[in-house]
Amino acid sequence: MNHGFQLIALTAAMGVALCQTPTPRPNADPYANNADAGKLKFPLAAPAGKDSGAITTPLPGSVNTGIVNEAKWKYGPAYNPPASAKIWNPVKLKMMRGEKVTGGTFFASSDPSTYCAFANSGYDFVWTEMQHNARDWENVAKMWQACPHAKAVPGVRVAYTDEREIQHAMDAGALVIVIPTVRTVEEGTAARDWIYFPPLGKRSQGGGQAFSAEFWGNVPGGYRNTINDNVVLIEMIETIGGVAQAREIAAIPGVDAVFAASGDLGNFSGYKQGEPDYERLINAVHDAALAAGKRLCGPFAWRDRPDFTCFQGGSETAAIARGVADELGPLKDTQAKPEVGPYASKP
């Protein structure tokens, strides 16, 4: 009898398990978990063949009243992060603490294995270069996919302030976005808009590997609900116009840091580091960051400059050269010189 009761209990348990609806697995395809057609009911749908008047008249129980108006829309709580949500992006966490953050520049290579070695070498994030590199987003996505949880989180300097460019970066899994040559507060705001989901920004909820379980689909609180609190936005001040509006740019909600661009501020000003006119521009960006309570970024050579806490490191090719030089020591560049052939000593 005991065996019979056990069999009945097991059969019942299996039946319950089979009837339960499984929790959808985080998926990069936004339509992967759509319900089967024909099973949904639409009790609040507009009546067939009639104008419902919805543009001016709310449905019973609506929060928003009057005509539909984006500027006055009261955003719903559906995508609010949980009250207990914690920061899961280590770069964001360091920035919030005021600690020094480093980003290595992945510039020349498009090889996933090289990227992964670089991303695990000790930086806080990898600055994948898209402004001055010809690689495409499919290639970047494959590099990040090779080691999505490397020690350094995936970051990128995009080519320009553009919905397509920034959405590709975010959907591919970027946690740090660097915007170059921000000249006006309007450009800085546009960049912010495409990075953040509503209500802070205008990012569309599409697809991409960022939503997958292999990337951020399983983070506590969910990717859609918590990414606004975890993405890091750095805007670069590189022109005279950008310096003139640096305070307004730094004050844009959602901007985490401003970057005083050491090279291009010289390029656009005609002065070199150390000269008074150049240093004035750098100091103006410094003052803008302090006034807005934001972090201040610059080249790694400025890691001891007052108030700078965010730095761009060298490229992967430079890192290889430094690593080999450190390993070989006095044996570096001691190759033999034949008397003949392409390796012979030059006269």
| pLDDT over threshold 80, residue 19 | no
CA distance 100 to 117: 22
Q: What is the pLDDT of residues 247-305, one digit of tens each?
A: 999 999 999 999 999 999 999 999 999 999 999 999 999 999 999 999 999 999 999 99
Q: What span, in angstroms and rounded, lies between the C-alpha atoms of 184 and 14?
A: 62
**Mean pLDDT, the chain, integer:** 91
Which tens digits make up the pLDDT trace of 216-252? 999 999 999 999 999 999 999 999 999 999 999 999 9
pLDDT band per the 50, 70, 90 thresholds, residue 10: very low
Report pLDDT for 248: 98
| pLDDT of 38 over the 80 cut | no
What average pLDDT score do residues 137-163 get? 96
Model's pTM, two decimal places?
A: 0.87
Q: pLDDT-derived band of residue 343, with 50, 70 and 90 as boundaries?
A: confident
Q: What pLDDT was estimated at residue 23?
A: 57
Q: Give the pLDDT band (50/70/90) at residue 26.
A: low
Give the model's pLDDT for residue 16: 44
